Amino acid sequence: MPMMTAEQYEKSLRKLNLKVYMFGEQIKNVVDDPIIRPSMNAVAKTYELAHKPEHEDLMTAKSHLNGAKVNRFTHIHQNIDDLVKKSKMGRLLGAHTGCCFQRCVGMDTLNALSMTTYDIDQKYGTDYYQRFEKYLEYVQANDLTCDGAMTDPKGDRSLPPHKQKDPDMFVHVVEELPDGIVVRGAKAHQTGAVNSHEIIVMPTISLREPDKDYAVSFALPSDAEGITYIMGRQSCDTRKLEGEKNIDRGNLYFGGHEALVVLDDVFVPWDRVFMFKEYDFSGQLVEQFASYHRQSYACKVGVGDVLIGAAVAAAEYNGVERASHIRDKIIEMNHLNETLYCGCIACASEGHKEPSGTYYVNTLLANVHKQNVTRFPYEMARLAQDVAGGLMVTLPSEKDLKSAEVGKWIEKYFKAREGVPTENRMRILRLIENLTLGTAAVGYLTESMHGAGSPQAQRIMISRQINLDQKKRLAQFLCGIEE
C-alpha cells in the first residue's frame, strides 16, 4: 500500500470508533469537532509534505524491511543521515504548522522498541524483536500514526508502583490468558492521542522485581474496546468555537491536543506484546525512548522560526523595526533558536549503531539539547512579547472590530503604521499571543518544559553521561599533578 495522502489520513480517522470525552460530554464526531480538528490538520501536514517533491528527501525514507518508500515517521533509523534528517524534518514541520504535529512520539517509540526488543531476545531467548518487526511492517504498509504512551499518573511519587494504594496509578497486567494479557491503568498527557491509529504503551520508569507486573509494553488499535480518551483543556481553546477563520484564534489552521488515555481491562493479543515482566529492561526502554524524544524537540526550532517572523512583522507594523533595541532583540531570538538547532543536529551527528542495527542518538547531547529547550523558548517568548507590546493581551475581539457600533473606533485607535491595515496588526498580535500564551503555548512553552521528561530528568541523564574523572585527569596532567 502506498503512503497515505492527507485526505486519505482524514478518511482513515473517520473509520475509527473512538470513545472520547471533552467538557463532560462524549464527542460523537472527533474529526470535525472545532476544538480538536486543528490538531488533526497538523498531523495531516506530515502526510501532505511527504508527497511534495521538494520535501521528499526529508519526509520519506527506504524501509529496511522491504525497501519500500515509507513516511519517515514510520522509519527505523539506519544511519547518521537518517538521524540528521529527522531533526531537519522536525524543524520543517514546526515552521509549517506553528505547533506540535504529534507524530514524533510514535516514531521515537518504534525506534526505541527496535533496540530494546532485540536486546531482551539476546538475553532471554524471547521472540519480541520478531513480533516487533511484523508489527512495524504493518505500520509502514498502512502509513499509520502511532501514539507512544509512556507517562503514567504515578500517584504518590515517593512510592514504587507495587506500593501504591491504588495499583492502577501505573499501567499493569491484571490477567494472563492463553492468547494474550489484560491490562489496566492510564497514560497522561498523551499528545495527539485521538489523531492516532495505534497506541503503543511503554513503562514510565525503571522497575525492579517487585514491580514486574508493570514492566509491560504493547500496541493496541486506538479504538480497542476498553480505551477511553478524556481531552485536556488548553488556554483559549474555546476561541476555536468562534469561527474557523476568527482572528482571535491566532493560528487559524493548526493546533495540538493532549488527552488522558484510560485502559480499563483492555485485552492485548500476544503478537502485540513487546515486553512482559522483563523489569530489568524497563529502564533501558525509558532512557532510549527519552533520548530519541529529546532530540525530537527540533520541532521547537521550527515554531521558533514562526515566532521570530511574527515579532519582525509586529515591529514593522508598529514602525519600530529600525530601533536598535528592537533589532538586538530579534538578533537574540535568532541566536537562541539556532543554538537549539545546533543541539539537535549535534546529537544526531554523534549517533551510533546499536546491536539491533538501529542508529541511536548521542544521549548526552540529546539531553543537553532538551535542557536548552526548557529555557530558550521562554526567553524567546519574553522577547517577542516585549517587541509586540501590551496590546497583545488587551486587544478587543474580532467581533468588536466588525461591530457596527464600535468597529470604527477599533480601526481608528489601533491603527499603527500607514498602509498597514488594523486587521493585519490584530492578526499578528493574536498569533504571538497564541504562541506564547494561548493554545499553541502548550506545545511551545509548557511542552518545552515538561515534554520528554522534566528538566530534572535531563539533568540526571547528563550527570550519568559526563565523565568527570577524565576531565579531572586532563587538568591534572597539564599542571603536573600525578596520582
Task: Give domain limits for the chain.
Answer: 294-478
**How many whole angstroms separate alpha carbon 126 and alpha carbon 112?**
17
Q: Is 447 a catalytic residue?
A: yes
The count of other CB atoms within 10 Å of the CB of residue 457 is: 18
Give 29's DSSP letter.
Answer: -
Q: Is there a contact between 230 and 165 (Cβ–Cβ < 8 Å)?
A: no
Q: Is 297 a catalytic residue?
A: yes
The percent of residues in the chain predicted with pLDDT above 70, rounded, is: 100
What residues form DSSP beta bridges with 263?
A: 185, 227
Confidence category of residue 62, pLDDT binned at 50, 70, 90: very high
DSSP state of 396: P
User: By C-alpha distance, which of 206, 201, 7, 217 is closest to 106?
Assistant: 201
User: For the chain, what is the total number of helices (H) and then of strands (E)?
Assistant: 19, 14
Q: Which residues, including other chains, have CB under 8 Å from residue 82's CB and lie 6 or more apart? A: 61, 72, 75, 359
pLDDT digits (tens, 9 = 90+) for 418-452: 999 999 999 999 999 999 998 877 888 888 888 88
CB distance 263 to 186 below 8 Å: yes
Is residue 9 within 8 A of residue 31, CB to CB? The reply is no
**Annotated catalytic, 191?**
yes
Q: Which of these is catalytic: 146, 287, 292, 299? A: 299
CB-CB contact of 335 with 379 (8 Å): no
Q: Crossing angle of helices 363-373/282-295, nearest 10°?
A: 60
Beta strands in 29-125 (DSSP E): 60-62, 69-71
Contact 348, 87 (CB under 8 A): yes
Is 231 within 8 Å of 33 (Cβ atoms)?
no
Structurally, at CATH architecture level, domain 294-478 sits in: Up-down Bundle (1.20)
CA distance 331 to 88: 22
pLDDT digits (tens, 9 = 90+) for 151-181: 999 999 999 999 999 999 999 999 999 999 9
258 is catalytic: yes
**What does the angle CA 473 – CA 475 – CA 477 come to, to the nearest 5 degrees?**
65
**3-class DSSP state of 290:** helix
Residue of 10, 74, 99, 100 marked active site: 100
CA dihedral 302, 305, 307, 309 (to 10 degrees): -150
**pLDDT band, very low/low/confident/very high, at 296 (cuts 50, 70, 90):** very high
Residue of 60, 191, 358, 363 marked active site: 191
Q: According to the model, what pLDDT value does residue 2 have?
A: 87
Running DSSP on this structure, what letter comes out for residue 233? P
Residue 51 a catalytic site member: no
Give which of 298, 300, 26, 289 is closest to 151, Cα–Cα.
289
DSSP letter (8 states) at residue 321: T
Q: Is 347 a catalytic residue?
A: no
Q: Among residues 75, 96, 293, 369, which one is catalytic?
A: 293
Of 198, 287, 433, 447, the catalytic one is 447
Dihedral, CA atoms, 79, 81, 84, 86, nearest 10 degrees?
A: -70
pLDDT averaged over every residue in the chain = 96
Q: Indicate whether 483 pLDDT > 90.
A: no
- How far the first Cα of the chain sits from its last, in Å, is 64
Residue from 10, 74, 104, 257 carrying the catalytic annotation: 104
Crossing angle between the packed helical segments 376-388 and 422-436, to the nearest 10 degrees: 160
Is residue 414 within 8 A of residue 377, CB to CB? The reply is no
Query: Which residue in the list 10, 258, 398, 433 is annotated as catalytic?
Result: 258
One-letter identity of residue 203: P
Which positions ≥6 away from 431 have C-beta within 8 Å?
Answer: 98, 250, 251, 306, 310
Model confidence, pTM: 0.95
The pLDDT of residue 1:
72
User: Residue 401's beta-bridge partner residues?
Assistant: none
| pLDDT for position 441 | 77
Q: How far apart are CA 448 and CA 378, in angstroms?
A: 9
284 close to 113: Cβ distance less than 8 angstroms? no
Please tell me which residue in 297, 317, 341, 359 is annotated as part of the active site: 297
Is 146 a known active-site residue?
no
Mean pLDDT of 28-48: 97
For residues 428 and 315, is the Cβ–Cβ distance under 8 A? no
The grid coordinates of residue 236 equal: 483559549
Q: pLDDT per residue over 331-356, tens digit each? A: 999 999 999 999 999 999 999 999 99
- Contact of 161 with 176, CB cutoff 8 Å: no
Average pLDDT over residues 446-474: 90
In the residue annotation, 335 being an active-site residue is answered as: no
Q: Mean per-residue pLDDT for 285-301?
A: 97
